[in-house]
Chain A
Amino acid sequence: MKLLFGKWTAIAKESIDRAAIVAKFLCLLHVTNTYIFSPTLVYGPSMLPTLNLTGDVVLSEYVSHRLGKVGPGDVVLIQSPENPRKMITKRVVAMEGEVVSFLVDPSRSDRSRTVVVPKGHVWIQGDNIYASNDSRNFGPIPYGLIQGKVWCRVWPIDGFGSL
């Protein structure tokens, strides 16, 4: 009877140890994917020709936007202002205080508008202005919606390199 009880405690102890190792690994994974860098699959037509239509795996880093080092020309991952569960990839065109001139609907007309970006906001546009739902539709977005900066592409292999 005593031997059986000893066996059960040994099994319980070992399973708790193994579960602790898995829990620690998952915590490390969460911290790396939120605060350091992680691979991301991006797809869609709005960033052609920079990013492909059917999907690229890119490495995105999460350090610069917390330090305020995101600037014009950076490709960033942001939470969509129309649906907080969706992440979109666009390029930062202007920061707060700058003046933006853009074509409202380039496939239909030549009309252009000029806007000043308010404090704490950024203006984002997709590289493919004919097929992109961006700040030209929903206006400048608060800087707090930026989740990360795209660093380089890792898949497909022939497109490897920084963006």
Chain B
Amino acid sequence: MRSTSFLWNVCKSSFTFGLIGLTVSDRVASVVRVRGLSMSPTFNPPNNTSLGLFTDDHVLVEKRCLTDYKFSHGDVVVFCSPRNYKEKQIKRITGMPGDWISVPFSYDAVRIPEGHCWVEGDNPTDSLDSRSFGPIPLGLIRGRVTHVLWPPQRVGKIDKKLPRSGLSF
């Protein structure tokens, strides 16, 4: 009798804890692991050891920005990939609605439509971003990255790097 009530209490508290944890991670902030080299050297700077769970960067993603979607140039955001909704990507916003972006290797210029943004990785050689799939709707954004939490020697706030001059006007 005592063991079943103990089990019931464990179930109840883990359910409550799960609900609260899920609400906090949806509305306030959550921790996300950064995979890949598209945001080097901001995340996962090049080094000799291989990438793995303990050497990948872990970052804090804040969700308070999703109530009014007020983003600006230089924000690093997490968004669902427009090619595959199950994948999430981390890139930096380099263009907001109304900006003109020059397409590389061509004389065209693309105007970013209302409600969309242009995202690029900090490492242009190893990054699949808006240069391949075009501007993404702001509704795909799932959070803004504010701090690096792991590894301990690089814990700190992320810089808001503005886009390189001459690209958008």
List chain A positions with a Cβ less than 8 A from chain B. Answer: 23-24, 26-28, 30-31, 34, 68, 79-85, 119-121, 138, 141-146
Contacts and interface: CB of A to CB of B under 8 A. Distances in A.
Interface string B100-141: 000000000000011110000000000000000000111111
Given A27-B23, A142-B136, 8 more contacts: A23-B20, A24-B19, A27-B19, A31-B19, A81-B116, A81-B137, A84-B137, A144-B139
A142 B80 contact: yes
Nearest to A26: B23
Interface of B is mostly: mixed
Interface in B30-47: none
Given A120-B81, A120-B84, A144 B68 contact: no
A144 B137 CA distance: 10
Interface of B: 16, 19-20, 22-23, 26-27, 68-69, 79-86, 113-116, 136-141
Contacts of B22: 27, 30-31
The 6 closest A-B pairs by CB, nearest first: A144-B80, A79-B139, A144-B85, A142-B82, A84-B139, A81-B137
B69 A85 contact: yes
A24 B16 contact: yes
A30 B85 contact: no
B137 A119 contact: no
B99 to A, nearest CB: 16
8 contacts: A27-B23, A28-B19, A34-B26, A84-B138, A84-B141, A120-B81, A138-B113, A144-B85
Given A30-B27, A84-B138, A85-B69, A121 B19 contact: no
A72 B101 CA distance: 35
Nearest to B22: A31
A139 to B, nearest CB: 9
Contacts of B136: 142
Contacts of A31: 19, 22-23
Contacts of A28: 19
